[in-house]
Chains A and B, each alone.
Chain A
Amino acid sequence: MTQAVNALARSDAPVGRSVGKFAAMTVVVVGLAILPLLLSSYQLALATQILIFAMLAMSVDVLAGYAGRTPLCHGAIFGASTYVVIYASNEYGLPLPPALLLGVLAATALATVFALLAVRTAGVYFLLLTLALGLVIWGVCLRWTHVTGGENGLRGHLREGLFADIRLLYFVVLTVSLATYWAMHRFVSSPFGLTLRGIKDSESRMASLGYNVPLHVFVAFTVSGFFAGIAGALYAIFNNFVSPSTIALAQSVQGLLMAIVGGVGTLLGSYVGATVIILLEQFVSAYTERWLMVLGAVFVLIMIFAPEGIVGKIRALAKRSN
């Protein structure tokens, strides 16, 4: 068991290198694959939701954990994809695959625009700028009533036919999620990814070494928007409904929180963070309405006691024991 933990904790060795790590991964994947046999349809829906939001959190992590820029706009990018998918399927009768593609493209395009505007800022200003940009998109969705349905949102027809069965949807989401994780892992372990980490550690050093920092941040932002778009597109099928609340600041905050709770800069942490937050909400709201207070308290406590998140803490402890 310790070997498996150590294997998980060892930071970012290329996939397939260590046997222990491979074994651990296999166990996890098999476990996830047989969940439909063990869970009720409601619990499976919850698991699907966790996987989708873990993808959103991972997209935030790519930017925050690896490029050192903390964004508060990914909820808007995520939601924009959801809007486009449902709109395209409703208005143009597009079948699912092209609608999903359109959603992902829209999200990536939006991320590109945001990236262009945000690339020269960092730290708190980056946070505030992305916050403002997210609010602009939210404002559009709220006011552009004849396209987005205004505050009534758009109701979809995507859970009929094939996806009426949550099990099929779960498998699709699981597959996409694992594929996305693999892709993101390759991305952050690549030379480009290592440069990003250098930027996170010390921007001035990287700049003086001749690296084009703004370009790297721009690419990282766009890539993260692409992944957020995938999550948003899947959410369109899962939720079958979109409204300005999908795209609101709260969504960006929650995505960021999941990444932080799990561990910024770990990718895997996003799965952990999403699971923790979503299950905590289930548990807490069975007893009280004070979920917002609990969420806020979690935020505060994490920032003080474990800003590196759960996976981050595990890795730190594992390093110490080695």
Chain B
Amino acid sequence: MMLFQVLNGLTFAALLFVVAAGFTLIFGLLRIVNLSHGALYLFGGYIGFAVAVKTGSFILGGAAAMVAVALAGLVLDQGLLHFVKGYELRQVLLTLGVAFVLNDLALVIWGGDTFTVPTPEILQGPMNVFGVFYPKFRMFVLLVGVIVFVGLWLLLHKTRLGALIRAGVDDAETVEATGINIRLVFLATFMLGSALAGLAGLLGGAFLTLYPSADSEILVFSLAVVIIGGRGSLEGAAIGSILIGMLNTFGQVWFPELAYFVIFGPMALLLAFRPLGLFGRAA
């Protein structure tokens, strides 16, 4: 019984991690709190859904989701955020406006019905996990979460781009001063972060479904994860996701009354007393 709930928490955490990793990269390097990140998740999910249904391929759906949302990120960064560069608050509020537009646009394009991303046969049904019958697809999501973590870790610690990103998270000005085209690094990061939101949308769309308020819900969770984990920290996002995933699952089981506090409470307290989160670095 306990194992069952632990798996619930972990698999949900894996999804949160994919979304939050993108969010924290953008927040960490570009100092942008992208409040439209949730809307990008939803859009990615809808696009992935449409492609997967049309082509019958889950993988193509995933690829389409990631590419489409990365492009959306490109437009958002170059076409809109570009104009308020350097003004943190304006950027945040601008992304909030974008979130509204995207949310309503999704309603116009896909309507208000709930959609489920179709999963491939081999991922359907339950499997035996240490004696517990558990849905295969959720274990798959857990696997993807781990792969994304490892992939991002390798990117950040073993590649030049990653080194630049890490340096930029610590001190963007200095990196810029060394003559490196930090603009491209920023753009690549923004697109990568957005693509991750799109991927998460496809995954989430399969076991949590896609519907008009999914964007704000996942955004709130992502905010909580990133606040707790700390700006720009991959490890923070991972720990934060596990924490929030577990809190959400066990909160629902043990304290169903306090559904929202279990998440917002710790988030608010942390912001008040340790705004940098567990692993965040000062700006």
A285 CB to closest chain B CB, in angstroms?
Answer: 13
Would A253 and B94 be within 8 Å (CB), given that A124-B89, A143-B259, A304-B84 are in contact? no
Closest to A291 in B: B104
Q: Which of A125-139 contact B (CB under 8 A)?
A: 125, 127-129, 131-133, 135-136, 138-139
B40 at the interface (CB under 8 A from A): no
**Pairwise interchain contact B264-A135, C-beta atoms closer than 8 A:** yes
Interface residues in B68-113 (C-beta closer than 8 Å to A): 80, 83-84, 87-94, 96-105, 108
Contact A299 B93 (CB under 8 A): yes
Q: Are A296 and B275 in contact (CB under 8 A)?
A: no
Query: Which residue of A121, A135, A253 contacts B275 across the interface (Cβ within 8 Å)?
Result: A121
> In the complex the two chains form, what is the Cα distance from A253 to B98 in whole Å?
13
Given the known interface contacts A123-B88, A127-B89, A293-B104, the answer about A304 and B265 at a Cβ–Cβ threshold of 8 Å is no
Contacting residues, chain B, for A36 (C-beta < 8 A): none
Please, which residues of chain A bring their CB within 8 A of the CB of B97? Answer: 295-300, 303
Among B145-153, B190-198, B266-274, the stretch that binds chain A is B266-274
State the main secondary structure of chain A at its contact with B: helix
**CB proximity of A320 to chain B, nearest CB, Å:** 22
Task: Report which of A127, A136, A293 forms a contact with B260, defined as CB distance below 8 A.
Answer: A136
Whether A292 and B264, one on each chain, are in contact in the complex, defined by CB atoms closer than 8 angstroms, is no
- Residue in B104, B105, B260 whose beta carbon sits within 8 Å of that of A139 in the complex: B260
Is B155 part of the binding interface, using a Cβ–Cβ cutoff of 8 Å? no
Contact (Cβ within 8 A) A303 B93: yes
- Cβ-defined partner of A132 (8 Å) among B91, B93, B264: B264
Which bracket fits the contact residues of B? 35 or more
**Is residue A17 within 8 Å, beta carbon to beta carbon, of the partner chain?**
no
| Interface contact A292-B83, CB-CB below 8 Å | no
Cα(A290)–Cα(B271), bound, Å: 35
User: Given A135-B220, A142-B260, A290-B108 in contact, is the A129-B268 Cβ separation under 8 Å?
Assistant: yes
Chain B nearest CB: distance from A271 CB in Å? 21
Mark each residue of chain A from 108 to 129: 1 if its CB lies under 8 Å from any CB of chain B, else 0: 0000000001101101110111
Is there a chain B Cβ closer than 8 Å to A260's Cβ? yes
Q: Which residues of chain A are within 8 angstroms of B80 by Cβ–Cβ distance?
A: 300, 304
How far is it, in angstroms, between the C-alpha of A292 and the C-alpha of B272 when the chains are bound? 32
A70 proximal to B (CB < 8 A): yes
Q: Least Cβ distance of B75 to chain A in Å?
A: 12
**CA–CA, A297 and B100, complex, Å:** 8
B271 CB to nearest A CB, Å:
4
- Using A118-B272, A121-B275, A143-B257 as known contacts, say yes or no to A299 and B92 having CB atoms under 8 A apart: no
A124 touches B104 (CB 8 A): no
Question: In the bound complex, how far is the Cα of B92 from the Cα of A300, in angstroms?
Answer: 10
The answer to whether A135 touches B260 (Cβ under 8 A) is yes
Mark each residue of chain A from 170 to 202: 1 if its CB lies under 8 Å from any CB of chain B, else 0. 000000000000000000000000000000000
Beta-carbon contacts under 8 Å, A62-119 to B? 70, 117-118
In the complex the two chains form, is B272's CB within 8 Å of A121's CB? Answer: yes
List, in ascending order, chain B residues with CB within 8 A of A121's CB: 271-272, 275
Whether A117 pairs with B272 at a CB distance below 8 angstroms is yes
Q: By the criterion of a CB under 8 Å from any partner CB, how many residues of chain A are at the interface?
A: 35
Question: CB-CB < 8 A to B260: which residues of A?
Answer: 135-136, 138-139, 142-143
Q: Are B275 and A292 in contact (CB under 8 A)?
A: no
Q: How far is the CA of A227 from the CA of B136 in the complex (A)?
A: 54
For A118, what are the chain B residues with a Cβ–Cβ distance below 8 Å? Answer: 272
A307 contacts the other chain (Cβ, under 8 Å)?
Answer: yes
A72 to B14, CA, bound (A): 29
Knowing A132-B267, A304-B83, the reply to whether A123 touches B89 (Cβ < 8 A) is yes
Known: A121-B271, A124-B88. A299 touches B264 (CB 8 A): no
| Chain B min CB distance to A304 (Å) | 4
| Given A70-B89, A303-B94, A304-B83, A293-B264 contact (CB < 8 Å) | no
A136→B100 contact, CB < 8 A: no
Q: Is the CB of B103 within 8 A of A139?
A: no
Nearest chain A CB to B136 CB, angstrom units: 34
The distance from the CB of B58 to the nearest CB of chain A, in whole angstroms, is 31
B33 at the interface (CB under 8 A from A): yes
B132 located at the interface, meaning its Cβ lies under 8 Å from any Cβ of chain A in the complex: no
Q: Does B164 contact A (CB under 8 A)?
A: no
Cross-chain contact B96 with A129 (CB below 8 angstroms): no
Q: A135-B220, A290-B108, A307-B84 are in contact. List 18 more A-B contacts (CB 8 A).
A: A70-B89, A117-B271, A118-B272, A120-B275, A124-B31, A124-B33, A127-B89, A127-B92, A128-B227, A128-B271, A132-B227, A135-B264, A139-B260, A296-B100, A296-B103, A297-B101, A300-B80, A300-B101
29 CB < 8 A contacts A-B: A118-B272, A121-B271, A124-B33, A124-B88, A124-B89, A127-B92, A128-B271, A129-B275, A132-B271, A135-B220, A135-B260, A136-B264, A136-B268, A256-B93, A292-B101, A293-B105, A295-B97, A296-B96, A296-B97, A296-B98, A296-B99, A298-B97, A299-B94, A299-B96, A299-B97, A299-B100, A300-B94, A304-B83, A307-B87
Instruction: Identify the A interface with B (CB < 8 A).
Output: 70, 117-118, 120-121, 123-125, 127-129, 131-133, 135-136, 138-139, 142-143, 253, 256, 260, 290, 292-293, 295-300, 303-304, 307
7 tightest A-B CB contacts, nearest first: A299-B97, A296-B100, A139-B260, A296-B101, A293-B104, A129-B271, A117-B272
Listed in ascending order, the chain B residues whose CB lies under 8 Å from chain A are: 31, 33, 80, 83-84, 87-94, 96-105, 108, 220, 223-224, 227, 257-261, 264-265, 267-268, 271-272, 275
